[in-house]
Structure 1
Amino acid sequence: MRARHALHAAVIVVVTLIAYTGSLRGQWISDDVVAIAENPLLRSLAPANLHPLLTTFDGPNYMPLKILSLAIDYRFFDGDPTGYHAVNLLLHVANALLVYLLLARLGEPGVTALAVALVWAVHPVQVESVAWISERKNVLSTLFFLLALLAYVRFSDRPRLRTYTLVFVLFICALLTKINTIVLPAIMIVYELAWRFRLRARDVLATLPLLAAGAVLAWVNLHGNPSHGAEYHGGSLWVTLRTSSTVVPRYLALVLAPIGLSFYYAVPLRASWFEPAVLASTLAILALVAAAAVLAWHRGRAGFWIFWFLVTLAPMLNLVPFPALMADRYLYIPLVGPLVLAAWALQTAARRVPRLTPAMPIVAGAAVLGCALLTVRRVPVFHDDFRLWADWALTTSYISSDHPYAAAPRTEEIRLLRGALARDDASGPLHNNLGAIAFEENRIAEAVAELGRAYTLAPRDPAIALNLGRAYLFARQPEAAARTLEDATRLEPPSYYAHLDLARAYLLLGDAPRARAALTHAREIRPQWPDLPAVTAALEAFERREQRGRETGS
């Protein structure tokens, strides 16, 4: 038995290292530059520096163990990103081994545990967490999370104070690395209900100290740093919930068919529960919850893995708002659940149709090989900022800055987009992104032309409508701007910038009442946004001039 587990562990280590070896060639990208490469806080482990290391927020988040781990990296690797990448990769390998160990501890056959752990390790949605150094928080917090859960499984069988102390300490370490691991107590309860089919008083009591610790650290994250006061997308919790509901089926689709992955996903804000996408997604989520509950009631352990997916994904659905509505890295822990369910589905099919049994190892091997090849192909996306930008800019419309800012010419980006357009001139996103760059570089006439073409090709894309409306504003074409921005507000009613820019267009047209209405909508969505005072002041000045004109005329 031990020899078999050792062999399985060796396979996991080797396959995972091979799949991600290319990540070692990655440079500093995106947040890495400011948060790590240029961060003076990481450059000393001297006792005098430990206090700032352990008390300084990482952006809006309190994650001192992530910062400490990077400071340790700096001690060994200085400014060479290769070492940091290597640590991320080794942590991911360790997590894959822990996934295998957890499944084996829960009674899964060794081959099933191996297959699931391998697919989890080399699934291409994991590349973002492994190949992006800033996602140290993801791989390190998951290490603590899985260790804590394994300790809890032991504690549930044989309650010992030292085992529970280990659970508590590991949970605190997970929280101090990334707060989304706060769901561990919920997973503990789900384990008892949907795996052991019981819930004892001591099971509930065991969660209380963890819940208290989680509440304290959640409060620190939310209130200890004013930069964490992000507003809900679309201005309300309900818009955010409706919008987030639509990403759950998209995540499941990426698990089953990991193609079209992106560093940036366009997620339109949703104004009504009765929009087809929202209604279908909400019903699907409710169906998953109901299925998990029914399975647990009838002692079907598949319910545990459905709950695993939903519970571990929940913190990443913007219940507490943060900028990204969807990202591959948010699937790092949740991915285990659907993969186990897929393995069980194949096993069930083999039991019901025995002639399929010989094909199961081939199916599992094909899944591992296919995911590994996709991962090898995706890893270079994270080698540098240009490739990272190209990853999404070739397929997804991005929203330009609110104003031209005479950006430095982006020659490489423009060449890439034009090359892509030479192969596919009917792509709305490609024309949009060329137009957005032209707008930001203050080439307004060119921006209007490209964005107009994009709008003709993709009239239902709210990002394109917003960009074109802005370009018309700066081209001093307020009628066209108002018409296009009205479309943008219809396509995405909770869009703050669509309403704000529409107010600007109406103001240029001298239509104060409609400008006031559009500005009111914008304020309802983001009441504290810094653009509002200037537009409000301009509107009030216009209204005063109109009032004086009426008084003079009378």
Structure 2
Amino acid sequence: MEDKVGRDTRRVALICALLAAVTLATFWPVRRHEFINYDDDQYVTTNPHVLGGLTPQNIAWAFNVGYASNWHPLTWLSHILDVQLFGVKSGPQHLVNVLFHTANAVLLFLLLWHLSAALWRSAMVAALFALHPLHVESVAWLAERKDVLSTFFFLLTLWAYARYVESAQRHDHAEKPGLQVARGLRSFTGRWYGLALLFFALGLMSKPMLVSVPFVLLLLDFWPLQRSRSTLPAGLNQVGASGEPVGASGASGSLGTPPSGGSGRQRRSLARWLSARFSEFKTPVLPLLFEKVPFLALAIASSVLTFVAQKKGHAVALWMPLSVRVANAIASVWKYLAKTFWPTNLAIFYPHPDLAVNLPHPAGSPPSFQWPAWLIMLAALLLVIVSVAVLRSRQRQPWLATGWFWYLVTLGPAIGIVQVGGQAMADRYTYIPSIGIFILVVWTASESLSGWRASGVLLRAASALVLGACVVLSHKQLHYWRNNSTLWEHALAITTCNYTAEIGLGLELLQEGKAEQSIALFEKAIAHAPFYPPGHFGLADALGKSGKNEEAVEEYKAGLRLDPSNAVGHDSFGLTLLRLGKADEALDQFDQAVFLAPDEPFAQNNLGLALSRKGKLDQAVLHFQAAVRLKPDYQDAVMHLAEALLKQGNLPLAQVWFNKLVQLRPADFQARVNLGVVLWRLGLRDQAEAQYTEALHLKPDDPAAHCALGDAFLAQDRLPEAAAQFAEARRLSPENSEALTGLGRALADQGKFAEAQGPFQEVVRLCPTNAMAQLNLANTLLMSGQTNPAQVAFHEASRLEPDLARKNLEAGVKLAAQGQLDAAVVRLRTALNLAPENPEAMVKLSWILATRPEPGARNGPEAVRLAERACQLNGGKDSRFWTTLAAAYAETGRLAEAVTSGEKALELAQAAGDQAAAGACQARLKTYRNALATSH
């Protein structure tokens, strides 16, 4: 018999090799699989700590509680190591999962063979584990690295525990049977016991589902280790690990027959009998329980950390009634069994039945996963009956109890009594529990056929057929995991009301640019689960990409009402508000996103972007720096940081970050142009020219590229070169309004107003409703001395954009405050040309013309004319206007009038209670009086 076969090293090695080869061959296609948009982003593709590689900071982060609603630091470290070794490539990382799964299959075979000496049975259980379609999810889904990694340490824990038991038994073999376990306890601090605890701790740090290990160890003590049988009375049946009777057996095969009868003496006799029976078990059982206390302590600690993490991440569905969770748990026990024996219609997500209550379903039928109450009760009763039956057969067929309770105990943490997420069940939850079922089935089948003459042939044929079917079904299931589209489309095809699949496919379509199609899916998801925030956020994203920003705002609000702590929701909402021009509201959303997720680089970058647009460059730079610190290769953040530093005038640092950007984006035209601008301003002209040359090589025939380079030359006052670039862009695209406008500006800034008129007139012809085009033409005509046509153009520009004068006035004031007086004068003159009777524009321009530091740039007569007219329009009620007029008079030498105007300004300031203005007026008035006295 196979159970009598010695431990042939060559056969074991051959089985290990064959098992590994078939497993690798079956799962090898995952090397071409893509990342999945369901948890893979959180675990790898958008996780800044994982993407940052093995650094002390990221290693420390891995031990934090709460990220992704879990505490599994070893899993995080494995993902970080993947990125360190392979970069952000899905293929190699998927293969790491396959390698762990293969190692698990081989370990399982070696463990069972070591425990039972049943070579082929152990091989069959391991093969079923390796090839079963239910396990495809754990292997093909990168985010389920925690499954294969924790199982690796789970099996090592069982291996070390078995070695500990063996070493303890060898140490105690000379002792009396009743003292063996007790003596063994004295050595449980030894090497193998310590190693078992270490592997268990590592397993819990990979996935907390291993909390059931103490109970699994007790099951192994019962069978196949038979530790609780070592002191049983001789009249009890004992069955070996391979299934054969060991030692003497009683006629009844039970604990003996209790005395019968109903008298008092008989009842006392019954009590003595029960006491004797319990005393027989007291010695072996209690020490075995005590032996598991350190394992139980680790399990409790892990459970507490996990519950805190899941509650912190809002993954625990506390809103779901206990009765619903219990009903689903009972049903799931049998549904998992059904899928184990008939593994078809497997999906990444099975919606919870309670979520579909009272919702409309296709063709008016209820969802296929919803069981009626009477059936739940029947399932519970059947669960009790089966459990009692396997307990009653524990002496003759102990593997039934170990296999069945292995299944129940290891499934318990994920059965849904504590509901995490919205799924009713998940294929990945069977990864370890199914081993118990495989043991139960393989050992039972072998024992049932052991008396048949052709049992060997029959078992081999059945095994080949079953394993062949598993390979075919697993290969088919792997096909669905190729990418998001195949995965979610399959899930939608085989499930009902699957809002998660609708959202997943919607996100994929949105990523592909199919916003309208994704909107329909998100709307279905919201109809199926209106309380589920991701549906609202997905719809909002899709609406935003479709240009329906106002509708998107409402969906973001709906999502955030349901999940106010969703940092990504706040961040996306902020981007939509920014597109709508609501910068202040956007800033609030970005602030909230950074508060909720300070380690999220995208939130930091977007907050910096909003601050930059508000002109708060110092604060913006801090957030851009935080973003690139969290994600050093975050290209947008690097670009925004470099641009902000350029705006600040911090050229040395801007050069550093533009260099970094060029390294990250060597083919980025604009990055090279901006680097060229910085280098030119730093005086590194040869290097700047090299960047400009490289930029043109990247896009020699792109009008937009030539325009961008022209803008860069304009910013450096390299006007002839700018004109050449815009002219080339115009040649490549004759009706390119950007090229025509740039060419006109370059020519006008050189004083070539007549030549500039042509390009500006062409822009007006192409864009007759463009106010800026009219304004550019008007300024050029005015500078050419064509006053009347210029006034017509100014009037048309004002008609097209009534706020144009105000915008130019505000820009002029801002430029003056920054000390850019030439640019300020241009803006203020434009404002006056658009609104000739604007007293504010007059007084601002008059002040600059009368007081600017360069005497040669002043224009006293014009300043006097503007200030006098401003005072007339204002009615002489504002001290600022009289102050400006006094300065203009002083500039033209009309000191007496300057003193009179200054006194009027002082009087108005004092009347208004403006002490600061009054003080300034007194100082200037003193200067005028002194100058007047000196002139006499």
User: TM-score, normalised on structure 1?
Assistant: 0.72
> How far is 1:225 from its partner?
5.9
Match of 1:37 in 2: 45
Q: What is the CA distance between 1:297 and its match in structure 2?
A: 5.2
Name the SS for the 1:106 alignment partner: helix
Checking the alignment, whether the CA contact within 8 Å between 2:328 and 2:416 is kept in structure 1 is: no
Compared CA separation, residues 7 and 37, structure 1 to 2 (3 A): same
Aligned to 1:525: none
Pairing 1:336-355 to 2, within 5 Å after superposition? 336-355=435-454
Q: Deviation of residue 138 (structure 1)?
A: 0.3
Q: Is the 8 A contact 2:394 2:401 kept in 1?
A: yes
3-state SS of 1:325 partner? strand
1:205-240 residue CA offsets vs partner (Å, 9 max, x unmatched): 221111112212211221256434545476222220
1:357 CA displacement: 3.6
Which whole-Å CA distance do the structure 2 matches of 1:181 and 1:63 have between them? 12
Instruction: Give the letter for the 2:139 counterpart.
Output: V
What is the aligned partner in structure 1 of residue 367 from structure 2? none
- Given residue 342 of structure 2, which amino acid in structure 1 is its aligned partner? A
- Tell me the residue number matched to 1:21: 28
Q: Secondary structure at the match of 1:335?
A: helix
Per the alignment, residue 125 of structure 2 pairs with 116
- Aligned equivalent of 1:95: 104
CA distance in 2 between partners of 1:283 and 1:273 (Å): 15
- Assess, with a 3 A threshold, how the Cα gap between structure 1 residues 283 and 78 changes in structure 2: closer, same or farther: same
Which residue does 1:422 correspond to in 2? none
Aligned residue type for 2:479 = P
The TM-score normalised by the length of structure 2 is: 0.43
Q: Is the 1:234–1:269 Cα contact (8 Å) retained in structure 2?
A: no
Q: Secondary structure at the match of 1:260?
A: coil
Q: AA paired with 2:161?
A: Y
Give the CA deviation at 1:83: 1.3
Rounded to whole Å, the distance in 2 between the matches of 1:179 and 1:318 is 14
Equivalences for residues 245-256 of structure 1 within 5 A: 245-256=330-341
For CA contacts below 8 A with separation 6 or more, give which structure has more relative contact order: 1
2:16 is matched with which residue?
Answer: 9
Larger radius of gyration, structure 1 or 2?
2
Equivalent residue number for residue 132 of structure 1: 141
1:399, CA displacement in angstroms?
A: 5.1
Code of the residue aligned with 2:54 in structure 1: it is L
Distance change (3 Å), C-alpha of 1:3 and 1:248: same
User: How far does the alpha carbon of each residue in 1:506-536 deviate from its partner, in whole angstroms, 9 at most, with x for none?
Assistant: xxxxxxxxxxxxxxxxxxxxxxx95599xxx
Residue of 251, 264, 284 corresponding to 2:349: 264
Alignment correspondent of 1:377: 476
Q: 1:205 aligns with which of 262, 271, 290?
A: 290
- State how 1:254-403 maps to structure 2 within 5 Å: 254-269=339-354, 275-296=373-394, 300-323=398-421, 324-398=423-497, 400=499
State the 1:408 CA deviation: 8.3
2:85 matched to which residue of 1? 76
Query: Aligned equivalents of 2:458 and 2:496: distance in 1?
Result: 42
Contact 2:346 2:427 in 1 (8 A): yes
How many Å separate the matches in 1 of 2:326 and 2:109? 33
Structure 1: give runs of 5+ residues left out of the alignment.
416-433, 442-446, 448-462, 471-495, 498-528, 534-554
How big is the shift at 1:16? Answer: 0.2
* CA-based RMSD: 3.2
Letter in 1 for 2:329: S
Q: CA deviation at 1:163?
A: 0.7
CA distance in 2, matches of 1:352, 1:280: 35
Q: In the aligned structure 2, how far is the partner of 1:363 from the partner of 1:320?
A: 39
Q: Which moved more, 1:86-95 or 1:388-397?
A: 388-397
2:107 matches 1:107: no
- What letter matches 1:32 in structure 2? D
Contact 2:44-2:79 within 8 A present in 1 as well: yes
Q: Flag the 1:351–1:234 CA change in 2: closer, same or farther, 3 A.
A: farther
Q: Secondary structure at the match of 1:164?
A: helix
- Measured in 2, the distance between the counterparts of 1:130 and 1:439 equals 28
Over the matched positions of the two proteins, sequence identity in percent amounts to 27
> How far is the alpha carbon of 1:66 from its aligned partner?
0.1
Q: 1:236 to 1:50 in 2, by over 3 A?
A: same
Letter in 1 for 2:453: P
Q: For 1:158, which of 151, 163, 167 is the aligned residue?
A: 167
Q: What is the DSSP-based 3-state SS (H/G/I as helix, E as strand, rest coil) of the residue aligned with 1:394?
A: helix
How far apart in 1 are the matches of 2:142 and 2:529?
37
Aligned to 2:858: none
CA contact (8 A) 1:44 1:71 kept: yes
Q: How many residues are aligned here?
A: 432
- Sort the Cα spacing of 1:48 and 1:122 in 2 relative to 1 into closer, same or farther, 3 A: same
Aligned-pair CA distance for 1:194? 4.5
Partners of 1:19 and 1:372 within 8 A in 2 = yes
For 2:299, the aligned partner's letter is G
Report the Cα distance in structure 1 between the residues aligned to 2:469 and 2:561, rounded to whole angstroms.
Answer: 48
- 2:183 is the alignment partner of 1:176: no
User: Aligned partner of 1:300: which letter?
Assistant: P
Deviation of the 1:142 alpha carbon: 0.4
Q: Conserved in 1, the CA contact under 8 Å of 2:66 and 2:313?
A: no
Distance 2:167 2:387 in 1: 30
| Amino acid aligned to 1:307 | F
- 1 CA distance for matches of 2:132 and 2:519? 33
The aligned amino acid for 1:317 is I
2:215 aligns to what?
Answer: 186
Cα separation, 2, equivalents of 1:284 and 1:312: 19
Deviation at 1:54, TM superposition (A): 2.3
| C-alpha distance in 2 between matches for 1:189 and 1:408 | 46
Partner of 1:418: none
Deviation at 1:411, TM superposition (A): 9.2
Shift of 1:469: 11
Cα deviation digits, residues 417-455 of structure 1 (max 9, x gap): xxxxxxxxxxxxxxxxx9x963745xxxxx8xxxxxxxx
1:81 is displaced (CA, Å) by 1.1
| Alpha-carbon distance change, 173 to 377 in structure 1, aligned in 2, over 3 angstroms | same
